[in-house]
Amino acid sequence: MTGAYRSESGIELPTVAGPDDVRPGLDARLGAPGEYPFTRGVYPTMYTSRPWTMRQYAGFGTARESNARYHQLLAAGGHGLSVAFDLPTQMGYDSDEPIAHGEVGKVGVAIDSIDDMRTLFDRIPLGEVSTSMTINAPAAVLLLLYQLVAEEQGVPGAKLTGTIQNDVLKEYIARGTYIFPPRPSLRLVADTFGYCASELPRWNTISISGYHMAEAGATPAQEIAFTLANGIEYVQTAVDAGLAVDDFGPRLSFFFVARTTLLEEVAKFRAARRIWARIMRERFGATNPKAQMLRFHTQTAGVQLTAQQPEVNLVRVAVQGLGAVLGGTQSLHTNSYDEAIALPTEKAARLALRTQQVLAYETDLTGTVDPFAGSYLVEGLTDEVEDAAVALIDKVFEHGSAVAAIEAGFQKQEIELSAYQVAQQIESGERTVVGVNRFTSDGDEPYEPLRVDPTIGAEQEKRLAALRADRDDPAVRAALAAVRAAAAGTDNVLPPLKAALAARATVGEVCHALRDVWGTYRPAERF
């Protein structure tokens, strides 16, 4: 029986689902939890043995301020850290460069050198805490700083656990914090894979992200299609560099959004696992089950938060978090209710974490594995989302590769069209947003946002001046020359990068050394 409701991906949902909405061969498409094709989850017991990792994305101002917030979150029961970096750091610039003026510490923490990284993780035992870093173009640089600080704590690389986002392809599609052109960027990703295989074997070397594409307007089907297409590109790059898929495949991870459309989100996560398992086994010949698994982190949908009646966001975030858990996420960040207005206050961040804790410890979600298995609606919708995503992946590779499709503007154009359609639906009232175009209020209660100290930029400039006055400049210049030589050749660039950072070269200096060789990407360029 069909209905008038269409999902975010444009799939018509039945008013009443029944057996006819589920295609034959369901058992083969499901498998058992922890077994190929992982539709029911990547682990046999899922949350019945322990809940998902509860991360809270945080970072603002100086490293000292962010360090204080991390201690607060860990004391409140958080399991891991998720670091937000400011725009200059994301773009590979130091805080004292003219282009960084006015942006230092605004949307994340400013990290210019090993001194800042040491302060950021002061009194946090890196051998015991899992850390995710949302950093892309200079991901290798921040990872090496993290490793250096861990070594100072006496923690070997083999004990470090966490993730770097390191997904630069989606930056060309949806976000824009790229540095180098696509091909040298892919070379840096492959070098990171190779380095971590020997130096940080438990580290997740990339978090291939659909979240930012979804925030830019991608539908659920577009989100997983374009994310998995980028994943294919990364795997192919690593294979071409001589790495074995069964060796590096287990260290790949993904990052998705959780919207308020709970049922389609559950179907999306299930479909994504199934598609990726098939890609890794059939396209790349992976035989290691861990290399076939799609493990992912989820963040609730920031784009769906509203500045109007912000407390309603608490409800949205709870529903979104529920969808992520029912979909089988491995870790979760729940947004704070005030993020549509400003950086989260301490109280708002704590409430966001408490939302996860209620889901984990006050509901029955952790009592069973994959409770939606066999649902007429969800299984049928999973198949539909899978079909739509696979068709889009095929369209990407009609261009030859994900990079070629990016250069042609295919993914960006598809996402922009979807975003425009949603905006039209909200404007017309066809799509309800509570507190915005329906159920509005004449006056909202006053809200006091977190304010970032405007003197942070000047403070970072003083820190950089002191660092440069104190360090061994000839040693830094020699180390940066070694970085350029490696970038111009075929050697892995991470060992010379680490040596330069240990000599107290700054994030901006090592990124500029790579720019000298690889150039800077300009959107109008075609490669």
Q: What is the mean pLDDT of residues 125-129?
A: 95
pLDDT > 70: percent of the chain:
97
Q: What is the mean pLDDT of residues 384-411?
A: 97
In Å, how far from its chain's centre is CA 138?
A: 14
Amino acid in the structure at residue 496: P
Using an 8 Å Cβ cutoff, are 356 and 54 in contact?
Answer: yes
Using alpha carbons, select from 69, 87, 116, 124 the residue that is nearest to residue 459.
116
Q: What is the mean pLDDT of residues 125-135?
A: 94
Phi-psi region of 41 (alpha: psi -120 to 50; beta: other; left: phi over 0): left
Model pLDDT for residues 239-279, shown as the tens digit of each residue: 999 999 999 999 999 999 999 999 999 999 999 999 999 99
Amino acid in the structure at residue 216: A
Specify the pLDDT at position 2: 58
Using an 8 Å Cβ cutoff, are 167 and 136 in contact?
Answer: yes
Q: How would residue 527 be classed by pLDDT, with cut points 50, 70 and 90?
A: very low
Model pLDDT for residues 308-362, shown as the tens digit of each residue: 999 999 999 999 999 999 999 999 999 999 999 987 888 998 999 999 999 999 9
Instruction: Give CA–CA dist 207/290, Å, rounded.
Output: 16
